[in-house]
Structure 1
C-alpha cells in the first residue's frame, strides 16, 4: 500500500501541556512513523503512513488535543516519505524565529491529587507532585523551547524511577519537564526543622504568621478565624484596611463563608485557581481584621500540592496574602524582606524565575490578571506591521508586547512609584522580549510626562514613540478585549488620567476607535484641592463640590474645611478634574462612609457595599451639552441625608442616578453619531452595581454593550489598549 508524507507546523500554547506525548500516542495508534519535537516556533511534526491514516491523524490532531493546549494554527505541507521506522520524540531545536507560546502555571490536577494522598504511592505527601496536566510552567521557564534544561528544574536531575516515567509513552509524565519525586526533586525547609510541613501546620494552628514560598512568590499566612493572628498580620504588613484573600480547603468551606453561585464555583475549581470575589455570608467565620467594611470575601482553593497538604492538615481556612509590605511587589527570590513580618518562613529550593501574583476575578470578569493567565496571548483585532511595546500606566501597571495579531500582556506588576516594583517592570520587559523573541520598534506610552512608564519609554533608543491618551487607551483596551476596532461610544470612568487640556480627566464620553478619539462629553470639572491629597482624603472633594454644606463631614474637618474651600475657589494647588472616582469620593465623605483612605478606591468600594441593590429609583442630574453635573447628585444625596433616609437607600439612589445620566448621554451621542455600540472601561466599572445598572439601562435602550472580561477594566488593561492603538497608528492591517 502506498505511503504519503506530511510536515506539520503547530503554533499556539503547545509546549508544556503534554502536546508532544499526545502526538506520539496519536501517531503510534494510527501506525504512523516519523517524529515530533519542540522548537522556538512551537511544535514540528513529520509523519508518514497510508493516506487514510494520515488523513485521520490530521483530523484528530486539533480535535482531541490535551485540555490545556490551545492550537492557533496547523500548517501542513506534503513531503516525500523518508522511510522512518517508528515514531519518536526528538531533541528540541533552539534556532529560528521565536513564536513558541509559554503556558501559564496550572493548578494540581485530580490525578496528582490522588497520588498526593495515597499512602501506597511513592509521591505520597510530596509537596511538588506534578505531571503534563498541571504544575509550574511560566514561573520556572528561563527560555524556549520549553525543556527541563531551560527551566529552574535544571538543577534537579531525574532519578531512575522518574526517568522511566518521563520516557514511557503510556505514562502521563511522558516528557513532563518539571516531573520529580522525593528522591530527586525540590525539598521544603523551615529553619532547621526536621519536619517543615508539620512544624508549619503547628505554627499556623498556634496563631503565628507564616511566610510560604509558592509558585510565583511568597505568601503570608495566618488562621482566618484567629482575631489576633489576622490583626498581627495586618499590622506587620502595614496594610490598614485593604481586604486579605482567604484560602479554603474545598467548596464546602467556601460555601460556609460565601454565597457561591455556578460561576463562582467554576472559577474556584478551574485550572487557573484565581482569587474569586464572592458575597460573604452574614456570620462568616473569619476574623474582623480579614476584610473590614466589605460585604465580599476573596476566596481561593489550593492550587499547589503544598497548599493542599497545609489546608488538609490544618482543617480550617487561612489568610493567604502576597508576601510583601504594602505597595511593594511580592517577594520571590528570598524571604529576607519578610523576616520582620513572619514568625517563620516555609520555603523550598526550586527557584522562581518570574514573580507572579495571584489573579483576581469576580463574576467571570478578570480584575487582576496574573497567575493562571499570564503569559497566554490575547488576540488583537488587527495585525501589527511592526513589533510593539506598550509601557502601561503608573498604577496597577502591566506592560504589553505585541507582534502580528498577538498581544503578550505581563502579569500584574503594581505601582511603579515603588523602586522594587519599577525594577520588576524593567526586568519583566527584558524577560518577555527574550522569551518571545520580540524586539520592539514602536513603543507606546501614556501622555503623562512624569509617569515612570513614560520616562522609561523616552529613554529607549531607536524606536518610534507613540503617546496615547489615558482614557483613549481604556476604550481601546475594551475594544481589543472584545476583538473589535470601533468606532464606539466610549464611557471611560476612573480616578485620574492626564488630559491634553491640562486638567485631570476621569469621567469621559468619547467617540473612539483604535485610530483616534473625540472627547464628546464629560463630568463637569471641579477643583481637586491639594491635588493628590484630595485622592487620599475624600472629604476634600466634598468641600470642593459643596463648600457650604453643614454635615458631620464638615464638622469633623472644621479646622481644615475653610482653607481647603479657599484653595479650591482660588485655584491654588487645585487642578480641575472631571473624575468619576472623585465624585464617588465626595459622596462617600458626605455619607460618613470614609473621610480618608488607605488604599486606592477604598471610599467608592465601601460606598458600593452600603448600597441597597433593591432600590430602583435614582437622583436626577442635569446634562448640558453632554456635560454631566455631578453636583446635582450630591445635592439630592444631602437632602435625603437631612431627611433621615436610610444610608443604604441614599447610596443606591446615587449609583442609580449616575447610571441613568450615563445612559441619557449615550442616547444623545447615538443621535449625534449614529453609533449604537458602547464600550465601558476604567476602574470605576469594577463597581459591579454601577456597571450592572448602566449595562441594563443601555440594553433596554437598544444599545450593544462592550465590557471587559479577559483583561481588567482598571489600569491593568491600559497597556493592551496602548498596544492596539500603536498597532493601528503604524498602519496595521485587519487580522
Structure 2
C-alpha cells in the first residue's frame, strides 16, 4: 500500500551533499516526491511502500554523507499525491540560521585521487574540494551558508565549475568552496618572505624543507611552521626561534604506512588518523623512529597527523619524509591566520613561506586526540570538530553563553537544545588571545543568529573571561570551576546526575576561597556537595609556584614533616626565602590541587624544578614512571559522615613514602610509578566511599590531570572493580577546554 511521509532532518545537513544523497537513495528505493532545504534543515516528502519509506528513514541516520551530522529525524504521515519521480526542490528562503555550519573536513578520497591524476582538470590543484570535504567553518563569514558569505566570495566560478555546482548528480553540487586552476586561489612560495617567481611553489617549498629550512605554511585554520623532522639542526632552530624549549612538536606523515615506521598504530588509531576530522593523534613511538630527539624530548609518544588539505598532500608527497608541523606562533601567542600578521610575527622564525590568497576568517588550531580503551579521547577540540553541536536537553528555551576558563579557553552557546562549543581559543593571557575570545563570541552568535540572554562564568574574579562576563549588561550565573568540569562530563553523556564526580586539575577557585584541584563531589547539573578532597597545602608565591614546582615541593615537605637532603642545596638561596615565607605570618594561597601535588613529586624526584609550559612537570613525571612497577604508596582517607566536614585524602602519606624511598636510593622511575598508583588508589577509595554513603552507582572523571593515562587507568580500574559505572570524556577534552559546556549546562538548569 502506498503512503506519503513528511520527513524532517536536522543538523549539519546543508552544503554537505545531503539533497543529492537523498535523491539517489530515493531513486534506489523506488520512491517518489521531493527533497529541499528550508530554514529548519532538510525537508523530504516521500511516497511509496512502507518498507521503502522505513528504509529511507533508517539510511538518513545510518548512511549520511561524510560531511553531514544528523542530530534528529522526525516523520509524519501526510496525504498521498500520486507523484511520479523524485526531484530536488528549490531552497526556501531562511528566516534564521536554524541549520548548522559544518566543521572543516579532511580532503576525501575522491578529491585525493583527482589531485594526483594527470588526466584530471584539477591535477595538483591545491584548493580542490567537494561537498564531502574541504574548508567550512574557517571560511564562513556569515549566514546563510553560500559562496557570498565565505572567503571564496572574491573568486567567481568559471563556467566549468558553475556547471558542476548546479548539477544535482555531481559531487560538487552546491559545494561553496568549489574552484579549479582557472578560478581558484593561487599558491605562492616566498623565499625570505619575498616574491620569487617560482612556477611550482610546492616543489620549491619541498626543496627548502629538504635543505633544512623552516617554512611557514598557510593551512586551513592558520599558519603552520614546518621543518624536516629528522634534521636535528632544523628542529633545534625551530625550537630556538619559536621560544618553545620542551613542548613536543607534531609530525606530518604522508600516509599510515609512513606513520607505522615511526609509531605503533592500532586499528582504532588508524581509523582516527584517517577520520574526516584528521586530528593529531598521540601514538606510542617506535624505538627506531627516525625523528630528531628535539621533536618530542623524552616522550614515549609522538603526535602524528595525516595530510588533511590538498596543500598538505602535495607538500608531504614532494618532501618524501616526515615533517614537523607546529602552530605558526611564538610560544603562548595565538596561531597566526591573517597574512600581514603572519609576516610580521613569523618572518623572524621561518626562512620562507608557502602562502595563498584565500583569506582565513576564523583561526582554528589542529585538534589533538588519542585512543583510550578503543575510544577517542580528545586532548584539544578545534579544527574538524568545532562548531559541531552537542545535544543538551536542558534549558531549550533560552540562549545561554558560557565563557569558559582562563586556560585552554573555549566558549559555548546553547540554542534550542543544542550546545555549540567553539574552536580552541587558547590561554587568555595576552591582548591577541583576548581579542580572539571576543571575536569567537561575536562570530558564533552571528552564525547561529542568536543573542545571549544569560552568561555563565567561572567564580575566579581575575579570569579575563569572568571580567568580560561581569562587564556585560546581562543576567549572570557563576559556576564553580570543578562543578563545571563534572557537569560537562555528565552533559556530554546526556545525563543530569546525581553522580559522584572526581575532578583533578591544576587550580580552580573553590567556594571557600581556597584553590581546589583534587575534589570528590556529589554532583548534578543543579549543584554539588563537596565530599572529599586532597590534603590542603600552602602555595608559596602563588602563581610563581606553578612555574617553579620546587616551591610546592617545599610546602609538601613542610606539611608532611619530612626533608629531602640535597634539594635545598640544589635550589640555593630561593629555597631559604621560601622557607622564611612558610614560617611567616603572611597568608599564602591554600590548594588541594592534584596537579600541584604531581608537580611537587616531580621536583622531589629531580625531574624538573622549573617549567616552560603548563603542566610540564606532571607530564614528565608520568613519562618517568616505570611501567613495570605496580605497587602503590598508601594514601589513607579520613572519612567523615554526611553533613560533616569533607573527607581528606592524606597525600602527605604519599610524600613521606616518596621521600623515604628516595633517601634509600630507590630509582626515581620506580618512585614515580608507586606515587601514581598511590594517588589513584586514594582518589578511587574516596570516590567509592562517597558512592556508598550517597547510594550512587556512577562516577564521572574530569579535569586536566586525567590527561595522565597512568592516573586515569588507575582510578577507572579501581572504580570499576568496585562495581561502579565510570563516565569519561570522549566528545570534549577533560581539560578546561570543556568548561564552557559545563557552565552552560548548569546555568540552563538553574535558570529554567
What TM-score results when the alignment is normalised by the length of structure 1?
A: 0.95
Deviation at 1:6, TM superposition (A): 5.3
1:569 and 2:574 aligned = no
C-alpha distance in 2 between matches for 1:483 and 1:502: 31
Q: For residue 456 of structure 2, what is the aligned residue in structure 1? A: 444
1:329-728 matches, cutoff 5 A: 329-334=334-339, 335-336=342-343, 337-363=345-371, 364-461=376-473, 463-547=474-558, 549-570=563-584, 572=586, 574-625=588-639, 626-728=647-749
Structure 2 stretches of 5 or more lacking a match?
Answer: 640-646
Contact 2:500–2:687 (CA under 8 A) maintained in structure 1? yes
Contact 1:397–1:414 (CA under 8 A) maintained in structure 2? yes
Say if 1:85 and 1:166 are closer, same or farther in 2 by CA, change over 3 A: farther
Q: Secondary structure at the match of 2:330?
A: coil
C-alpha distance in 2 between matches for 1:186 and 1:566: 63
C-alpha distance in 2 between matches for 1:294 and 1:623: 33
Q: Secondary structure at the match of 2:144?
A: coil
Contact 1:237–1:325 (CA under 8 A) maintained in structure 2? yes
Q: Secondary structure at the match of 2:398?
A: strand
Q: Secondary structure at the match of 1:216?
A: coil
Q: For residue 643 of structure 2, what is the aligned residue in structure 1? A: none
C-alpha distance in 2 between matches for 1:72 and 1:283: 45
Higher alpha-carbon deviation: 41-50 or 302-311: 41-50
Q: For residue 138 of structure 1, what is the aligned residue in structure 2? A: 137
Of residues 302, 311, 316 in structure 2, which corresponds to 1:311?
316
Contact 2:626–2:672 (CA under 8 A) maintained in structure 1? yes
Q: For residue 248 of structure 1, what is the aligned residue in structure 2? A: 253
Q: For residue 235 of structure 2, what is the aligned residue in structure 1? A: 230
Q: Report Cα offsets for 1:429-472 as digits up to 9, x if no partner.
A: 111111112222111000011111111111111x2200000011
Deviation at 1:512, TM superposition (A): 0.9
Structure 1 stretches of 5 or more lacking a match?
Answer: none
Say if 1:344 and 1:510 are closer, same or farther in 2 by CA, change over 3 A: same
C-alpha distance in 2 between matches for 1:219 and 1:410: 20
Deviation at 1:152, TM superposition (A): 1.5
Contact 2:14–2:37 (CA under 8 A) maintained in structure 1? yes
Q: Secondary structure at the match of 1:657?
A: helix
Q: Report Cα offsets for 1:463-507 as digits up to 9, x if no partner.
A: 220000001111111111221111111111111101121211111
Contact 2:564–2:663 (CA under 8 A) maintained in structure 1? no
C-alpha distance in 2 between matches for 1:460 and 1:94: 33
C-alpha distance in 2 between matches for 1:486 and 1:53: 40
RMSD of aligned C-alpha atoms? Answer: 2.1
Say if 1:433 and 1:94 are closer, same or farther in 2 by CA, change over 3 A: farther
Deviation at 1:395, TM superposition (A): 0.5
Deviation at 1:631, TM superposition (A): 1.6
C-alpha distance in 2 between matches for 1:644 and 1:718: 42
Deviation at 1:50, TM superposition (A): 8.4
What TM-score results when the alignment is normalised by the length of structure 2?
A: 0.93
Q: Secondary structure at the match of 2:180?
A: coil
**Aligned pairs, number:** 729
Higher alpha-carbon deviation: 193-202 or 721-730: 193-202
C-alpha distance in 2 between matches for 1:307 and 1:641: 48
Q: Report Cα offsets for 1:228-272 as digits up to 9, x if no partner.
A: 111111111111111111111111221111121222211111111
Q: Report Cα offsets for 1:175-223 as digits up to 9, x if no partner.
A: 2222211111111012323221111111111111111111111101000
Q: Report Cα offsets for 1:552-571 as digits up to 9, x if no partner.
A: 33211121112102212325
Say if 1:421 and 1:93 are closer, same or farther in 2 by CA, change over 3 A: farther
C-alpha distance in 2 between matches for 1:376 and 1:70: 8
Contact 2:541–2:588 (CA under 8 A) maintained in structure 1? yes
Deviation at 1:69, TM superposition (A): 2.2
Contact 2:130–2:171 (CA under 8 A) maintained in structure 1? yes
Q: Secondary structure at the match of 1:382?
A: coil
Say if 1:682 and 1:313 are closer, same or farther in 2 by CA, change over 3 A: same
C-alpha distance in 1 between matches for 2:337 and 2:235: 22
Say if 1:169 and 1:91 are closer, same or farther in 2 by CA, change over 3 A: closer
C-alpha distance in 1 between matches for 2:676 and 2:723: 21
Q: Secondary structure at the match of 1:38?
A: strand
1:200 and 2:228 aligned = no
C-alpha distance in 2 between matches for 1:55 and 1:521: 51
C-alpha distance in 1 between matches for 2:525 and 2:621: 34
Q: Secondary structure at the match of 1:346?
A: strand
C-alpha distance in 1 between matches for 2:635 and 2:171: 62
C-alpha distance in 2 between matches for 1:295 and 1:28: 52
Say if 1:257 and 1:674 are closer, same or farther in 2 by CA, change over 3 A: same
Q: For residue 118 of structure 2, what is the aligned residue in structure 1? A: 119
C-alpha distance in 1 between matches for 2:565 and 2:215: 45
Say if 1:52 and 1:618 are closer, same or farther in 2 by CA, change over 3 A: closer
Say if 1:459 and 1:40 are closer, same or farther in 2 by CA, change over 3 A: farther
Q: Report Cα offsets for 1:108-130 as digits up to 9, x if no partner.
A: 11111111111111111111111
Q: For residue 292 of structure 1, what is the aligned residue in structure 2? A: 297
Deviation at 1:593, TM superposition (A): 0.2
Say if 1:518 and 1:201 are closer, same or farther in 2 by CA, change over 3 A: same
Contact 1:385–1:404 (CA under 8 A) maintained in structure 2? yes
Contact 2:67–2:131 (CA under 8 A) maintained in structure 1? no
Contact 2:101–2:387 (CA under 8 A) maintained in structure 1? yes
Q: For residue 129 of structure 1, what is the aligned residue in structure 2? A: 128
C-alpha distance in 2 between matches for 1:13 and 1:154: 21
C-alpha distance in 1 between matches for 2:55 and 2:533: 59
Deviation at 1:307, TM superposition (A): 0.6
Contact 1:94–1:145 (CA under 8 A) maintained in structure 2? no
Q: Report Cα offsets for 1:48-76 as digits up to 9, x if no partner.
A: 67888767655654454324323223344
Say if 1:3 and 1:679 are closer, same or farther in 2 by CA, change over 3 A: closer
Higher alpha-carbon deviation: 121-130 or 593-602: 121-130
1:729 and 2:741 aligned = no
Q: Report Cα offsets for 1:307-354 as digits up to 9, x if no partner.
A: 111111111001000111111111111122211111111111111111
C-alpha distance in 1 between matches for 2:29 and 2:678: 65
C-alpha distance in 2 between matches for 1:157 and 1:48: 39
Contact 1:41–1:96 (CA under 8 A) maintained in structure 2? no
C-alpha distance in 2 between matches for 1:633 and 1:49: 70
1:128-277 matches, cutoff 5 A: 128-191=127-190, 192=195, 193-194=197-198, 195-277=200-282
Say if 1:123 and 1:543 are closer, same or farther in 2 by CA, change over 3 A: same
Say if 1:53 and 1:282 are closer, same or farther in 2 by CA, change over 3 A: closer
Say if 1:345 and 1:502 are closer, same or farther in 2 by CA, change over 3 A: same
Q: Report Cα offsets for 1:622-646 as digits up to 9, x if no partner.
A: 3223211212111111111122222
Deviation at 1:30, TM superposition (A): 6.0
Contact 1:276–1:360 (CA under 8 A) maintained in structure 2? yes
C-alpha distance in 1 between matches for 2:2 and 2:712: 60
